[in-house]
Amino acid sequence: MNAETVAFTILSLSAISGAILMVSLSRVVHMAIALALVFLSIAGIYLLLSAQFLAVIQILVYAGGISILMLFGIMLTHHQLRDELSIGKAHTILTFSAISIFLIILLASVNQVPITLNRYTEVAVGELGKIMLTSHVIAFEVMSILLFVALVGSILIARKKVNP
């Protein structure tokens, strides 16, 4: 067992247990905290995949931004702060078994992926920026327009209606 295997095991266990906690806890705020744990572990997984920039962005955007945004959403909307269940028991069991079958199919097909030897050279952040601003520059600009439109649109949707 080398260090990478140990790190992957710890990170994936914490990610999966955070996700299980998220779907099984009853208080919504605790769910948000479990989701932040999942996001942090996924940032660690990105570090293992030698995507350092993406790991930092993951912590910044997800663990920092989206978790806080979701907490704001809970505070602004939910009074009793509980996820009072719920759908019927039969529905839950049916969904659980269907998703288990789906997961088994997914894992079986994932195991058929051929293991390839490759020569991946690590890229520095500057190199990544060069790729982003030369060969992917149109996608980059479209992304900035998308973010602008989405933020203005969400303000428009969420603000209080003034009487015309």
Partner 1 sequence: MPLTSYLSLSAVLFCLGLYGVTTKKNSIIVLFSIELMLNAANINIVSFSKLGPYPHPSGQVLGLFSIAVAAAEAAVGLAILIALYRRTQTVEADRFDTLKG
- In the region spanning residues 23 to 52, those forming contacts with partner 1, defined by CB under 8 A, are 23, 28, 31-32, 35, 38-39, 42, 45-46, 48-51
User: Measured between alpha carbons, how far is 22 from 38 in angstroms, rounded to an integer?
Assistant: 9
Assess 76 for contact with partner 1 (CB under 8 A).
yes
Assess 6 for contact with partner 1 (CB under 8 A).
no
User: Which of 30, 73, 162, 163 is close enough to bind partner 1 by CB under 8 A?
Assistant: 73
- Residue 109: cis peptide before it, omega within 30 degrees of 0: no
Assess 91 for contact with partner 1 (CB under 8 A).
yes
User: Which of 14, 33, 53, 59 is close enough to bind partner 1 by CB under 8 A?
Assistant: 53
Smallest distance, partner 1 to C-beta of residue 117, A: 10
Assess 138 for contact with partner 1 (CB under 8 A).
no
Smallest distance, partner 1 to C-beta of residue 81, A: 10
User: Which of 1, 3, 90, 113 is close enough to bind partner 1 by CB under 8 A?
Assistant: 113
Neighbour tally for 35: CB within 10 Å? 19
CB 43 within 8 A of CB 53: no
Kindly tell me the number of DSSP H helices and DSSP E strands found in the chain. Answer: 7, 0
Q: Write the CB contacts of 38 (distance below 8 Å, at least 6 apart in sequence).
A: 15, 18, 19, 22
Assess 127 for contact with partner 1 (CB under 8 A).
yes
Assess 59 for contact with partner 1 (CB under 8 A).
no
Q: Please, is 116 exposed, middle or buried when counting C-beta atoms within 10 Å of its C-beta (0-12, 13-18, 19+)?
A: exposed
Smallest distance, partner 1 to C-beta of residue 144, A: 9
First to last CA, the chain: 68
